[in-house]
Amino acid sequence: MTLLSDEDLSAAFDHAARTYDALVAANPGYHAHLRRSVRRLGLPAPGKGLRILDLGCGTGASTAAIRSVLPAADITAADASAGMLAKAAGKRWAHPVRFVHAPVEHLTETGIHGPFDAVFAAYLFRNLTAPDAVLGTVRSLLRPGGRLAVHEYSLSGRRTDRAVWTLVCRGIVQPVATLLGDGPLYRHLWHSVVHFDTADRFAARIRRAGFDQVRALPLPGWQTGITHTFVATRPADPR
């Protein structure tokens, strides 16, 4: 299976934006799991005075999770898909969110500058061609002591978890996506999980990028062993 290129992937997300929310809503616990991952940042609610960067915000589900847990935070949300970003920006927000059309590989070139108190990235890293470079950029955008949470499909390494993921994709997600005209995107997403780091390997990748206090925390329900929250901290600068 050949995964979609960055350009083709952005175009595929543009096309899928119209039905994306309805499809992910069929995933039990999808929005609750995002909120759980935000809470795992360990930031004090309501978040007044905190600057949060939502990377790969898509149609705004992750942004809504941040806003729900930290309603007073200053949120900047970025995505490479203009279609997904337009869907997110078009929603009603109780407090303003700054939406930026930007590939995560070129954040600083599009006017996104730190320091941020936290970066949240949901369902993003497995779709990147240069995850190590992006982790380096994220580290540079965080203040010393700032927090990172990555909410991602990253298999535990057990055969049963890969089998469950494949069963769900082949039996439910792929047939529906094909009917909606988005088959290539969801085939890419299925295979991107299979080819991505296991949870242990991704945690090690985050450590190599210069983060500490790295933990891989499983999410409940059918996604146990399939989806994890990775939390980490940018170390304080040496004095």
Strand partners, 51: 74
**What CATH number is given to the structural domain containing 218?**
3.40.50.150
Domain holding 69, by residue range, is 27-156+197-233
For the chain, what is the domain count?
A: 1
Query: Is 181 among the domain residues?
Result: no
Query: Is 97 among the domain residues?
Result: yes
Mean pLDDT of all residues belonging to the chain: 90
Query: Is 43 among the domain residues?
Result: yes
In whole angstroms, what is the distance from residue 215 CA to residue 226 CA? 15
Query: Is 88 among the domain residues?
Result: yes
Task: Quick: pLDDT tens for 111-163.
Answer: 898 899 999 999 999 999 899 999 999 999 999 999 999 999 999 988 888 88
Closest CA to 71 of 101, 100, 38, 40: 38
Query: Is 169 among the domain residues?
Result: no
Label residue 221 left, alpha or beta by phi (over 0 means left) and psi (-120 to 50 means alpha): left
Query: Is 76 among the domain residues?
Result: yes
- Helix/strand/coil for 232: strand
How many CB atoms lie under 10 A from the CB of residue 238? 5
- Helix/strand/coil for 169: helix
Task: Quick: pLDDT tens for 181-238.
Answer: 888 887 888 888 888 999 999 999 999 999 999 999 999 988 899 999 999 999 987 6
Query: Is 174 among the domain residues?
Result: no
So what's the pLDDT on residue 2? Answer: 58
pLDDT classification of 49: cutoffs 50, 70, 90: very high
In whole angstroms, what is the distance from residue 51 CA to residue 117 CA? 5
**DSSP tally for the chain: helices H, then strands E:** 9, 7
What is the residue type of 180? L
Closest CA to 87 of 19, 24, 185: 19
In whole angstroms, what is the distance from residue 233 CA to residue 127 CA? 23
Query: Is 9 among the domain residues?
Result: no
